Amino acid sequence: MIGVISKPDEVAEVREFFQLFKTPWEFYRDNGSYEVVIVTADTVPAVNARLVVVYGAGLKEGYGQAQIRLGNRVDKALLNWKGARIPIYGGVQKFKGGEPILTLEDHESLAGIKLPVPNTSFYRFGYDLFHELRRLLVQGQPVEHAQIPTLDLHIDLLRYCILNEGLPLVEIPPVPQGRDFVVCLTHDIDFIGIRDHFCDHTMLGYLYRSTVGAVREFIRGRVGFKRLLKIWGAAASLPWVYLGLKKDFWLPFEWYLRVEKGLSPTYYFIPFKQRQGEKVTAPHAARRATAYDVTDLGDWTKRLTAEGCEVGVHGLDAWHCADKGKLELQRVATITGQTETGIRMHWLLWDGTSYSRLEEAGYAYDSTQGYNEALGYRNGTAQVFRPLSARTLLELPMHIQDGALFFPQKLDLDETHAWALCQDVIQNAERLGGVLTVLWHDRSHGPERYWGDFYAKLVEDLKARNVWFATGLQAVSWFKRRREVSFATVDGKLQASVLPVTASSALPPMVVRVHPGKSMAPVDYSWTGQTEFTVKDLNSIEVLQPSAP
């Protein structure tokens, strides 16, 4: 059991941190028994624990502080931990002396140390852990640090401290049993065909990009000669598309169903056509209005759901108005008949009130938190999390987006560099777990973009890995189940249970990972949550004793 001594204003942050690092913990009690104590308060009391970890950029008083020699304090820093970079967005206290754990990027200044304190292992980190969590979940990371899973690294660092001291640890990792991570393949549907656009800005823009734009991309080396001919051929066929003599090459569903067959993708549909939405201050806001809405899909809604796909809302005004969010939800739910619906905002529009607005409107989850101009972790995590301002709404973060990779105004990458960037994100997922959420837009597989080959290659790469492909709602439901796990110590034994006890059989089991300590290898146990389990002795292998259903 971990005991936490935090500042009074950090309660919500502490609770969310230990939903992401799912391990037994509680706020410190004087009569409690703890292997590990974490302190962020200004005063460090003398505690009886085998490991004490103290965080804070400010001066501390009390236990172990006399042995700490302080350097200067800096605002913001990029820390180095065993080759991984961890950005700190608040203050950082430097230290003089001690066993180095964290250094600043110059590898000379110390920001995390281990000290020789009698009868315990004592770690001191020079930043405010839970204030950093608040910054990540509320404001997010700047683009320059987008590719760093900062919050997940904070969790990994604390886990390292515990295991480095040979201490036992029980945790429920952010991955289903037998999998390395979860994959959500998602699509924002802004168009369902070019036939809806005749002599408007969309059609004229397409023709320009297919002619002048394609030549420019060919000269830049971003488009090969074969693809250039393909782009020109599609543009030349446009009259026959409008006459109905040739298939509409922007109709997305058949291609995606073939590439993603059996992989449970999620589609977010516009609820109302010809509405640009309110409070849109971006340039060319009128172009946000679409020529279709969810009622124009015909039989596609039934076919998509029959193929195991999820249908969600591509919201227009839900981000700033709960009443409009309810109307958008009802519009889509009436078509799908779903009792739970997720949302991703069109253009990823957002402000500080959006979580509460979406929660009030009744959405099961949101998946807006990502970058239009980068790949990576806006909130520093690949895990589904609960925003600090929400009570029920969960956030499914988005990590890889086609437009961010290839648009000239964004990263503007060629396919080789785009592939390397995607591989970095995938490797993080394999090491740290969580969900990898991919956004590929409706017409990105077709002309003039022709990013379909890259996407198909990415999907095949993910299929070859040890992952669970899930819809957005399935992934959120699994993480919600994990969040419902509670720990308690009864008669000196650790017990865990999930309420309510009726677990969904459609969701894969969780993993109870037991690190016995003393350099022993961890042992994984599959657990559905339908029964309680008891950890009798962390230093033995027989640790799970399920009770009767």
Average pLDDT, integer, range 314-323: 98
- Report the C-alpha gap between 144 and 12 in whole angstroms: 28
* 88-92, 103-107, 254-258, 386-390: the lowest-pLDDT one: 103-107
| Per-residue pLDDT reduced to its tens digit, 392-421 | 999 999 999 999 999 999 999 999 999 999
Strand residues in 264-418 grouped as ranges (E): 266-269, 310-315, 342-345, 365-366, 394-395, 400-401
| Phi/psi of residue 56, nearest 5 degrees | 155, 140
Name the nearest CA neighbour of 459 among 428, 422, 407, 503. Answer: 422
Six-digit token string for 245: 């003599």
pLDDT at 423: 98
Pairing outcome for strands 84-96 and 69-81: antiparallel
Task: Report the percentage of the chain scoring pLDDT > 90.
Answer: 79
Q: What does the mean pLDDT of the chain come to?
A: 92
- Report the C-alpha gap between 324 and 315 in whole angstroms: 9
Over 50: is that where the pLDDT of 510 sits? Answer: yes
Report the run of H or E that residue 169 belongs to, with start and end: strand 169-171
pLDDT at 505: 62
Measured CA to CA in angstroms, residue 228 lies from 202, 212, 250, 274, 405 at distances of: 20, 11, 18, 33, 20
* Prediction pTM value: 0.94
Q: How confident is the model at residue 528 (pLDDT cuts 50, 70, 90)?
A: confident
Over 70: is that where the pLDDT of 503 sits? Answer: no
pLDDT at 545: 52
pLDDT at 70: 85
pLDDT at 541: 44
Over 90: is that where the pLDDT of 353 sits? Answer: yes
Q: How confident is the model at residue 499 (pLDDT cuts 50, 70, 90)?
A: low
| Per-residue pLDDT reduced to its tens digit, 158-206 | 999 999 999 989 999 999 999 999 999 999 999 999 999 998 889 999 9
CATH-assigned architecture of domain 181-190+250-477? Alpha-Beta Barrel (3.20)
pLDDT at 107: 67
pLDDT at 119: 85
Q: Which residue has the higher pLDDT, 98 or 379?
A: 379
pLDDT at 548: 47
Q: Which residue has the higher pLDDT, 529 or 355?
A: 355
- Report the C-alpha gap between 405 and 419 in whole angstroms: 9
Average pLDDT, integer, range 331-337: 94
| Cα angle 194, 199, 205; round to 5 | 70
Q: How confident is the model at residue 544 (pLDDT cuts 50, 70, 90)?
A: low
pLDDT at 496: 74
Over 70: is that where the pLDDT of 536 sits? Answer: no
pLDDT at 506: 82
Is-contact 402 419, C-beta < 8 A?
Answer: no
Name the nearest CA neighbour of 516 among 503, 507, 525. Answer: 525
Average pLDDT, integer, range 139-167: 96
- Report the C-alpha gap between 266 and 254 in whole angstroms: 14
| Per-residue pLDDT reduced to its tens digit, 236-278 | 999 999 999 999 999 999 999 999 999 999 999 999 999 999 9
Is-contact 90 100, C-beta < 8 A?
Answer: no
In words, the CATH class of domain 2-171 is alpha beta
In a 3-state reduction of DSSP, which class is residue 407? Answer: coil
| Per-residue pLDDT reduced to its tens digit, 40-97 | 999 999 898 999 999 999 888 888 777 788 889 999 999 999 999 999 999 999 999 8
Per-domain boundaries in the chain: 2-171, 181-190+250-477, 194-247, 485-535
DSSP 174-223: SS-TT-SEEEEEEEEES-S-GGG-SSSHHHHHHHHHHTHHHHHHHHTTSS
Measured CA to CA in angstroms, residue 403 lies from 413, 443, 444 at distances of: 10, 11, 9
SS (H, E, C) 449-490: CCCHHHHHHHHHHHHCCCEEECCHHHHHHHHHHHHCEEEEEE
Report the run of H or E that residue 170 belongs to, with start and end: strand 169-171
Angle between helices 212-219 and 225-236 (to 10 degrees): 180
Task: Report the percentage of the chain scoring pLDDT > 70.
Answer: 96
Average pLDDT, integer, range 461-474: 98
DSSP 485-529: EEEEEETTEEEEEESSS---TTSPPEEEEEE-STTPPPEEEEE-S
Six-digit token string for 264: 């449970």
Q: How confident is the model at residue 327 (pLDDT cuts 50, 70, 90)?
A: very high
